[in-house]
Amino acid sequence: MRVAIIGATGYTGGELLRLLAKHEKIEDIEIASRTYKGEPLFKVHPHLREIYKDLTFISPDEVDSDLVFTATPHGASLKIVPSLLERGMKVIDLSGDYRFENLEVYEKYYKVKHPGLPEANIAYGLPELFRKEIKKADLVANPGCFPTGSILLLAPLVKHNLIEERVIIDAKTGVSGAGANPSEVTHFPNVNEDIKPYKVVDHRHKPEIEEKLNKLGKVRVSFTPHLAPITRGILTTAHTFLKENLELEEILKLYREFYKDESFIRVYEEIPKLSYVRGSNYCDIGGFAIDDNLRLVLFSVIDNLVKGASGQAIQNMNIMMGFDEKEGLNIIPLNP
Amino acid sequence: MRVAIIGATGYTGGELLRLLAKHEKIEDIEIASRTYKGEPLFKVHPHLREIYKDLTFISPDEVDSDLVFTATPHGASLKIVPSLLERGMKVIDLSGDYRFENLEVYEKYYKVKHPGLPEANIAYGLPELFRKEIKKADLVANPGCFPTGSILLLAPLVKHNLIEERVIIDAKTGVSGAGANPSEVTHFPNVNEDIKPYKVVDHRHKPEIEEKLNKLGKVRVSFTPHLAPITRGILTTAHTFLKENLELEEILKLYREFYKDESFIRVYEEIPKLSYVRGSNYCDIGGFAIDDNLRLVLFSVIDNLVKGASGQAIQNMNIMMGFDEKEGLNIIPLNP
Amino acid sequence: MRVAIIGATGYTGGELLRLLAKHEKIEDIEIASRTYKGEPLFKVHPHLREIYKDLTFISPDEVDSDLVFTATPHGASLKIVPSLLERGMKVIDLSGDYRFENLEVYEKYYKVKHPGLPEANIAYGLPELFRKEIKKADLVANPGCFPTGSILLLAPLVKHNLIEERVIIDAKTGVSGAGANPSEVTHFPNVNEDIKPYKVVDHRHKPEIEEKLNKLGKVRVSFTPHLAPITRGILTTAHTFLKENLELEEILKLYREFYKDESFIRVYEEIPKLSYVRGSNYCDIGGFAIDDNLRLVLFSVIDNLVKGASGQAIQNMNIMMGFDEKEGLNIIPLNP
Amino acid sequence: MRVAIIGATGYTGGELLRLLAKHEKIEDIEIASRTYKGEPLFKVHPHLREIYKDLTFISPDEVDSDLVFTATPHGASLKIVPSLLERGMKVIDLSGDYRFENLEVYEKYYKVKHPGLPEANIAYGLPELFRKEIKKADLVANPGCFPTGSILLLAPLVKHNLIEERVIIDAKTGVSGAGANPSEVTHFPNVNEDIKPYKVVDHRHKPEIEEKLNKLGKVRVSFTPHLAPITRGILTTAHTFLKENLELEEILKLYREFYKDESFIRVYEEIPKLSYVRGSNYCDIGGFAIDDNLRLVLFSVIDNLVKGASGQAIQNMNIMMGFDEKEGLNIIPLNP
C-alpha cells in the first residue's frame, strides 16, 4: 500500500514516519511539503537519518497515493482535502477542519469560514467509539489531542448516565502539542519552572469534546488546559459529581467492561503516569477516587503525538483498510 | 530581637535564613538541629556561605530566644512547642500541629494523637484574613502551602456568597514542597517529563482549607493536588460555579476591594505565572473567566517556600512583634 | 530461545524487557529478583502492563535459561556469574565486574576484592571493536555507559594515531544512569536547574575507557562527568589535540570508513542531539571542528539505557547466538 | 542619582530593574524602548508590577540621566553610545561593542564594521581584574557572560604561570543567555531533555576571554559552550595542564589569596552548584582536582543574568560613582 503525508515537516509528520517505518502493509511513502520540496528527509527529521534512505520531499500537488495523511494547519486542510477525495484517495485529516458536525461551532471557534462538508463518508476518528463509521469512511477527521484523552476518560460515565451534567476537565499538556514552530509561548524560559493555564474557557477542543460526548449522553463540559514544562504527554484530570453514591469497584468494573475489547486502553486502579504511555498508542485510565462531596475524580494519560495524533491516525488507517488494528502500533512505552 | 529556628536544616529553614538576613530588627539568630549540632551553617546550606559567618547549629534544647520558628515535622512540634511557650518564648510553628480547631479532623488526617491545645493565644497565621488574632497571639500556626494559595484565591467569593457550595481546587505544586529528604516520589526520573496526581481526595490540606474557608461562608471543598516537574511554586486552579451570572469586571473589582490594603496580594486580569512571584512573598490572583456553564475559573500563584511557608512566617512575626509587616519581605520576584 | 534477567527491577531490567518483547528469537523470559519474588511484573514496571501477561518474578536461584543477563550491582555479579557459567548458561553481565583485564585497577576503583576471572571465554562487549571475541564468548562484560560513548567517539583517532596522547573527555549524563533508587544526588530539587560535575577525576569509567582505548593506540584519558537535568542520554564531548593539521573532510571520511559496516553508528557533520537517538540503539557521532590551537572537538550521543546498557546487551546476545545483530533493536528514536 | 536603561525590555533590562529597585543611591529611573514607548513597565515585566508604580517606557532619544545602561544588541550600541557620551552621560554598555581592544578581532567575530573607539576613558568592566580602570571610566564595556565565568576561573592560574598555554573551557549555559526572543534554538522541545553544543570553536566570547587573560599571562583558549535545559546559570569547566605537580592545598590557597578582598568571589574545595549563586552576584569557584595526567580541573558558577550581566553592570556603576561596591547587590542566592 502507498501512503502520503502532506505537511510532513511537523511533529505529527515525524511521528507518522516513525510509526509507518514499521508498518508491514506500507510499500511506499510520499512526503510532501511546499517549503522543503527537494530536500532529503533527514534535513527536517535528523533522528530518521538512515531509517528512510533516499526519501525526499515532493510538492503536495505531486502526491499520488492510496491514502493521504493531511498534517496541515486548520483552514489549509479545507483547501486540500476535497481534491484528494475527488482524485480517489482516502484521507485522514489531522486538523480540526472536519471534526465538527455543527459547522457553526467550528466557524465560531476556528474563525474560519467552512465551505461545507464534501460528499464523502466522513467519520470522527476515535476508534473506541466510532469504529463502525471509520470502517466505511473515505475521510476520517482525526480527533484533537485533548478530546482523545477527555472523551475516552469520560465516555463510560456519560454513557451510563452516572454523573451530573456539569463536568470539569482540567488538562495538562506537554509543549509538543504546540507544534514545531517556535513562539513566545514555547520559548524555554517562559515554559520551564512554570505551569501555565491558557485559553481557560474557550479552547477549541472544548466544543469538540462536548459534541462527541453528547452523542453518548447529556453533558456540559467546562474545559481548562495548562501548559506543563514537559515535551510529550497529556494528563487529563476529570472532576465529576456522581448522581448517587457508588462503590469504586463498580466504577472500575464498568470501565473494564466498556473497554474490554480495546487494545489501546488500559484501565486500572493506580494513578496513571505519562511515562507509562510515552511513545506508545496507549490511553491509560486510572486513579479513580470519590470524596465526601460525591466528587468522582479520575485521570487519563496519553502521548499527545501518538494516541493524541499520529498513532491514532494509523489506527484509523488500519480500520479503514481492513488491516489488523494494532499493525505498526505495537510500540512499548519508553519509561523512564 | 533574637530569633531561633528549630529544624533549620530543611528548605523552609534555609528560606527563613535567607529572609532573616535582611531583616532590620533581627539582632541574633540561633539555628538548632539535633543531627547537625556543632556543624557550621554552610555545611547544610552552602548557598549561605559568607552570608552568616560563624553561625553554627546548636541543640534544640539550648534555644533561648524571643521568638522561635519551629520548622519541625508534624507530631514533633506537639512535643516541642508547649515547653517553648512555657519558657516565655513566642512561637511560629510551620507544621500542621496547631492549624486545626477541630482536633478530631487533625487526628484523622495526620494519624497522630493530639494532646490538646496549650493555654496560649493561638492564631491561624494567614494575615490577610486573621491579622487581628495574629497580633495577639503567642503561638501562630503557619498555614500549609496549598491552603495559602487556595484560601486567598477563594475567600472573596465565599465571603460574598457568590458561588455554589461545591468548589473544586486542582492544584499543581513544585517538588520542594516535599522537603529536602529524597524519596521515590522525588527521584528525578520519576518526576521529570511527568505531572503526577497524588492523594487525590484525601490530602491533609483539604480539611485545613475547608475549616478556614467555612469561617467566611458555607463551602464544600474538593481538592486534588498534582506534582509538577518544577522546583518552586504552586499554581492553584479553582473551578467554581456562580450562583448567578456576573460580569468579570464586577468580580475583579470585588477582589481588588477585598485585598486593597494588602501588600502581598496582587490582583489582575491576566493569567498569573509562577515566575511572577518566584522567591517573593507575593500571592498573585488572576485569570478570571466564566464559561457558558457559569463556571468561574480563577488562579493563584505563590512561591510555596515563601508565601507558602517561610515568608508568611516572617510576615506573622512582624505582626506579632508590631514591626512593619513588610520588613524583610521586600523581595522582588526572580523572573525568568 | 530462553533468556533470564537477574536484577530485573531496575531501569536496565525494564529496558531489556522492552526490547526483548519484540525479539523474534525469544521464546521465554524469566525475571528474577529476590525482593520481588512472586510479584507480577507490572508492579515494578507499570508501563509494561499488558505487554507481558502473567510474567512473575522468580528467585535468582530458580533461573534456568540459555542465556542470562545479570543486571546486578557490581560485587553481586562476582558471586552470581561463575555458578551460572558452571551450569552451562551463557552470561551477559551489565555490572563492572568483568570489564577489566587488569584486576588491580578494578579493585582500586571498585573497592571490591576480585576473586579472579572464571575459566571461560570472556569478551568486552563493545561489538564495533570486539565483535570477534564476543562471537566466541560465554561471558560478555557489557560496557559502562560512559565508556560506550567515549570509546566509540575516540577509537578512529586513536587507532590512526592522529592525536596527542592526552585526551580530555567532558561527559554529560542524564539521571537514569544513577539507577532507580532515590538518593540525595537524584532528589529532583538537587538536579533540576543545575548541571553538576561529580567524581571529576576518579570516576570508575575512566580506567575502563583507558584500558580499552589503549588496545588501539597510546592514549591518556582525563575524564570528567556532569549530571544534567534530563532523564536519558549521554553527550560526550571530546577535546583532543591533532598531531598535525588535517582537513575536517579527511577526519569525517576516516570516521565513515571506520564505521561503514556498523548498523548502529551514524557519523555526520552536524552536531548530534540526544533526541536523535532517544530510545534507540544508535550512537551518533558528529560536530567535528578544529580551532586555531589545533584542538579537535567532537561529540557522540547515546541513550545511556539502550546503547549504553540494555540495547548493547541484546546486540551482544545476537552476536553470541549467531542471530542478526539488529534483531530486536530496530527501534526508531523518539523525537521530540 | 538618575539612571536610564536603553533596551529595558529584555532579560538583562528586567534584572537591572530588579536590582536597582533596592539601590539606595538611585533617585530616578528611565526606561527606554522604541517598540514599547508609552507602555507601562508591567506589560513587559509582569513580575515587577507594584514594584515600580507608574514607570512607563520612553523613547531612547528622550533619555537624560547621569548614567545609562545600554542593554542593546551589538551593533546598536555602536550607534547609541557615542552620542550619550557626548551629552555628558556615563555609559555602561552590555553589548560586545566596546569589549575589545583589538577591533579587527571584534569585526571578524561580530561581522560588524567598527567605527573606532570614542574619545573617552573606556574600561573592561570586570572589577576583580580592572577595578582601577573602571573607577576612571566614562564608558564601561560590561563583560560577556561566558568571559565572566571563564576569566575569573582562570585568572589566578594564568597570572601565576602555573599551567600550560593551552587551556580548554567546556561551558554549560542556561537558556536565558539567549535572550527573551523566541527562536528555533530556544523552542522548549528542542532544549528539554537535551544538552546541545553550539558554536563549538567560534563563539564570540572565545576571543574576549583570550584577549583579557593574555593581559595576565600567555594562554591559548579553546572554548566550547553547551546549551543546557535550565533557565539561569553558567557552569564553566576548565581543563588545564599543570606545568609541574602541585598540591591542591597550594592551589586553593593561591585562589583564596588572589580573591581575598573580593566581596563577590567565593572560593572553596567543594564542587560549586548553580543553585548556590542563583539570583545573586556571586561567582563561586571550587571543585579543584588533579588527575594522573597532571590535568587540573576546576569549576566556576555564576548567574548569567546577574554576575554575568546586570549585577556586574551595577557593580561597575558603584565603582564608577564611588559608591559602596556592594550597594544594591546584597542578594542572597535562591536555593533550591
SS3 C220: strand
Please say whether the beta carbons of A226 and A196 come within 8 A: yes
Contact C271 D196 (CB under 8 A): yes
Contact B231 C193 (CB under 8 A): yes
A173, A193, A214, A290, best to mutate vs chain B, most B CBs in 10 Å: A193
pLDDT over 90 at D292, yes or no: yes
Phi, psi of D87 (to 5 degrees): -80, 10
Which 188-227 residues of chain C touch chain D by CB within 8 A? 189-190, 192-198, 200-202, 206, 220-222, 224, 226
Phi, psi of B176 (to 5 degrees): -60, -20
A59 touches chain C (CB under 8 A): no
Domain covering A145-305, topology: Dihydrodipicolinate Reductase; domain 2 (3.30.360)
Instruction: Convert A22-54 to b/e letters by CB count within 10 Å (16 or more is b).
Output: bbeebeebbbbbeebeeebbbebbbbbbebbee
Confidence of residue D119 (pLDDT cuts 50, 70, 90): very high
Q: Could you give the angle at the alpha carbon of A44 between the alpha carbons of A43 and A49, nearest 5°?
A: 60
Single-letter code of the amino acid located at D21: A
Residue tagged active-site, from B80, B145, B234, B235: B145
D43 touches chain B (CB under 8 A): no
Please say whether the beta carbons of B125 and B104 come within 8 A: no
Q: Facing residues of A90 across strands?
A: A67
B18, B23, B41, B47, best to mutate vs chain D, most D CBs in 10 Å: B47
CA distance D198 to chain A (A): 16
Per-residue confidence (pLDDT) for residue B240, from 0 to 100: 98
State the catalytic residues of C. 145
D102 burial (CB, 10 Å; 0-12 / 13-18 / 19+) is: exposed
List, for residues C135-175, the tens digit of each pLDDT value.
Answer: 999 999 999 999 999 999 999 999 999 999 999 999 999 99
- DSSP character at residue B256: H
CA distance C331 to chain A (A): 9
CA dihedral of residues D310, D316, D317, D321 (deg, nearest 10)? 170
Per-residue confidence (pLDDT) for residue B73, from 0 to 100: 94
Q: How many CB pairs under 8 A join A and C?
A: 69
Please say whether the beta carbons of B134 and B319 come within 8 A: yes
Crossing angle between the packed helical segments A145-159 and A248-258, to the nearest 10 degrees: 120
pLDDT over 90 at C179, yes or no: yes
List, for residues B117-168, the tens digit of each pLDDT value.
Answer: 999 999 999 999 999 999 999 999 999 999 999 999 999 999 999 999 999 9
Tell me the percentage of chain D whose pLDDT exceeds 90.
Answer: 99
- Cα dist from D165 to A16, C70, D214, whole Å: 52, 47, 10
Contact B18 D334 (CB under 8 A): yes
Closest-CA residue of chain C to B189: C231
Give the residue extent of every domain in chain A: 2-143+307-321, 145-305
Instruction: Convert A115-148 to b/e letters by CB count within 10 Å (16 or more is b).
Output: eeebebbbbbbbbbbbbebbeebbbbbbbbbbbb
Closest-CA residue of chain B to C194: B231
C333 burial (CB, 10 Å; 0-12 / 13-18 / 19+) is: buried
The number of residues making up chain A comes to 336
Quote the CA–CA distance of A323 and A134 in Å, as a whole number: 13
Please say whether the beta carbons of B238 and B147 come within 8 A: no
A183 touches chain D (CB under 8 A): yes
D45 touches chain B (CB under 8 A): yes
Contact C277 A47 (CB under 8 A): yes
For chain B, what is the mean pLDDT? 97
Confidence of residue B207 (pLDDT cuts 50, 70, 90): very high
Nearest Cα to Cα of residue A303 among A7, A11, A8: A11
CA distance B96 to chain C (A): 23
Cβ-based neighbours of C146, under 8 Å, separated by 6 or more: C169, C171, C173, C203, C205, C208, C209, C223, C225, C234, C236, C308
CA dihedral of residues B255, B257, B259, B260 (deg, nearest 10)? 140
List, for residues B258-304, the tens digit of each pLDDT value.
Answer: 999 999 999 999 999 999 999 999 999 999 999 999 999 999 999 99
Name every chain B residue with its beta carbon within 8 A of the beta carbon of A273.
194, 196
List, for residues C54-74, the tens digit of each pLDDT value.
Answer: 899 999 999 999 999 999 999
Nearest to C289 among D168, D201, D271 (CB): D201
Give domain B145-306's CATH superfamily. Dihydrodipicolinate Reductase; domain 2 (3.30.360.10)
Contact D182 A180 (CB under 8 A): no
SS3 A60: helix
Closest-CA residue of chain D to B336: D231
pLDDT over 90 at B53, yes or no: no
Contact D231 A183 (CB under 8 A): no
Name every chain D residue with its beta carbon within 8 A of the beta carbon of C202.
289, 291
Per-residue confidence (pLDDT) for residue D235, from 0 to 100: 98
| Chains with ≥3 CB–CB distances under 8 Å to A | B, C, D
B297 touches chain A (CB under 8 A): yes
CA distance D166 to chain B (A): 32
Nearest to D332 among B11, B21, B335 (CB): B21
D121 touches chain C (CB under 8 A): no
Can you spell out the DSSP letters for B279-314? TSS-EEEEEEEE-TT-EEEEEEEE-TTIIIIIHHHH
Rounded mean pLDDT of D83-90? 97
Closest-CA residue of chain A to B170: A170
Backbone conformation region of residue B192, classed left if phi is above 0, alpha if psi is from -120 to 50, else beta: beta
Per-residue confidence (pLDDT) for residue B27, from 0 to 100: 96
Q: How many CB pairs under 8 A join C and D?
A: 145
Phi, psi of B302 (to 5 degrees): -140, 160
B37 burial (CB, 10 Å; 0-12 / 13-18 / 19+) is: middle
State the catalytic residues of D. 145
Contact B270 D231 (CB under 8 A): no
CA distance D42 to chain B (A): 11
B46 touches chain C (CB under 8 A): no
Nearest Cα to Cα of residue C307 among C270, C261, C266: C266
Domain with residues B2-143+309-321, CATH architecture: 3-Layer(aba) Sandwich (3.40)
Rounded mean pLDDT of D178-195? 97
Q: Could you give the angle at the alpha carbon of D306 between the alpha carbons of D301 and D310, nearest 5°?
A: 145
Contact C187 B186 (CB under 8 A): yes
C330 touches chain A (CB under 8 A): yes
pLDDT over 90 at D53, yes or no: no
Nearest to B46 among D270, D279, D330 (CB): D270
- Which DSSP helix (H) or strand (E) runs through C3? strand C2-6
- List average pLDDT for each run of 10 residues in chain A, which is 336 residues long: 96 98 97 96 96 94 97 96 98 98 98 96 98 98 98 98 98 97 97 98 98 98 98 98 96 98 98 98 98 97 98 98 98 97
Confidence of residue C53 (pLDDT cuts 50, 70, 90): confident
pLDDT over 90 at D320, yes or no: yes
The answer to whether the complex's ipTM is over 0.90 is: yes
List, for residues A145-155, the tens digit of each pLDDT value.
Answer: 999 999 999 99
List, for residues C100-142, the tens digit of each pLDDT value.
Answer: 999 999 999 999 999 999 999 999 999 999 999 999 999 999 9
Contact D266 B18 (CB under 8 A): no
The residue assigned the cell 494528563 is A235
CA distance B295 to chain D (A): 27
Residue tagged active-site, from A145, A175, A277, A302: A145
Name every chain C residue with its beta carbon within 8 A of the beta carbon of A336.
11, 176, 231-232
Nearest Cα to Cα of residue B231 among B196, B257, B192: B192
Contact D336 B268 (CB under 8 A): no
Question: Which cell goes with B297?
Answer: 475559573
The residue assigned the cell 542524564 is C174
Closest-CA residue of chain D to B189: D193
Please say whether the beta carbons of C152 and C223 come within 8 A: no
Name every chain A residue with its beta carbon within 8 A of the beta carbon of D188.
175, 186-188, 191-192, 229, 231
Domain with residues C2-142+307-321, CATH architecture: 3-Layer(aba) Sandwich (3.40)
Domain covering A2-143+307-321, topology: Rossmann fold (3.40.50)
Contact A291 B222 (CB under 8 A): yes
Same fold? C2-142+307-321, C145-305? no
